[in-house]
Amino acid sequence: MGRKKKRNIAAEISMILLLLIIIFPLYFMAANSLKTHEEYVVNMTGLPREFTVQNYVEAFQGKPFGQWIWNSFFLTVAATLVTAAAALLCGYAFAKMEFKGKNFLFQCIIPLMSVPPVAMIIPQFRLIKVMGLVNTRASVILIYVGIMLPMTIYLMRNFMKTVPDSLIDAARIDGCSSLKALFKIMIPLCIPAVITSSLVNIVWVWNELLISLVFLQKESLRTLMVGITLFKGRFTLNIPVIMAGLVIATVPIVLVYIFAQKYLIEGMLAGSVKE
């Protein structure tokens, strides 16, 4: 168990096998997205003999794929930004301010992380109806923010706790109000925490299915995940086109992972109560 660099053949072989199990479904998706349907039928597992990007063209032409991508993108950016702003303020209060009921309120936040979303959907739907927000992006953004807030507040508060009080006190002596202290001192220091939690939130919103499925019934508002789930039904016969759709839905997340792996993993480990 020491951390010596010694080659261990048995361990390496088992890891390579594991790697194959992980990669195979992804390879299957990517390779088949580049085949014609005729080739897929006779050659499911091999590399494409003739590369074709026709499936991608078809995905964009016939179906509102571009619209779905835009919808997902819009929801992801808006929900992540609102969550970060509300969680920054809230996390700052919990980490650096004294007020009655602080510990109690903070304790209340943590259990909210594990409420099953399915259970809340009908009451949420009725509320959204009363608010006149049925079939609007605002309704879904509101619900996403609510679901992401507990974990994000938790991360922000824990991170801000590590910022020395002396820095804020110095700002107070200079006559800064709390809000100024937050903007001038905490926000710059909190950028890593904001990035970390936002990456987790970006991945979650982009991948989310249930809430957008229920709350956005209008064709023009559908998200990419709902789109590809329905897409499957419409194109059942043309599997390569479906695979092209899946690749398009996956590439943004994989890019986030490639460029920000360290932050993303850190965030997911730190706030690991939800998907």
Alpha helices (H) in the chain, listed in sequence order: 9-32, 37-42, 54-62, 65-96, 102-109, 117-130, 137-161, 165-173, 178-181, 187-207, 210-215, 224-234, 239-270
- Positions 30 through 69 that interact with another protein (CB under 8 A): 44-45
Considering only 31, 75, 79, 153, the residue that binds another protein (CB under 8 A) is 153
CB of 118 to another protein, least distance (A): 4
CB of 100 to another protein, least distance (A): 8
Q: By CB under 8 A, is residue 180 in contact with another protein?
A: no
Q: Least distance (Å) from another protein to the CB of residue 145?
A: 6
Whole-angstrom distance, CA of residue 99 vs CA of residue 261: 37
Residues in binding contact with another protein, number by CB under 8 A: 91
At residue 240, the 3 state secondary structure works out as helix
Closest CA to 144 of 80, 192, 89, 63: 80
- C-alpha distances in angstroms, 187 versus 83, 150, 159, 165, 271? 15, 19, 11, 14, 20
Binding to another protein by residue 192, rule CB under 8 A? no
- For position 242 contacting another protein by CB under 8 A, the verdict is yes
Give, as ranges, the residues between 78 and 117 that touch another protein (CB under 8 A). 85-87, 89-90, 92-94, 97-99, 102, 105, 107, 109-112, 114-117
Question: Among 69, 77, 81, 127, which residue sits at the site for another protein (rule: CB under 8 A)?
Answer: 127
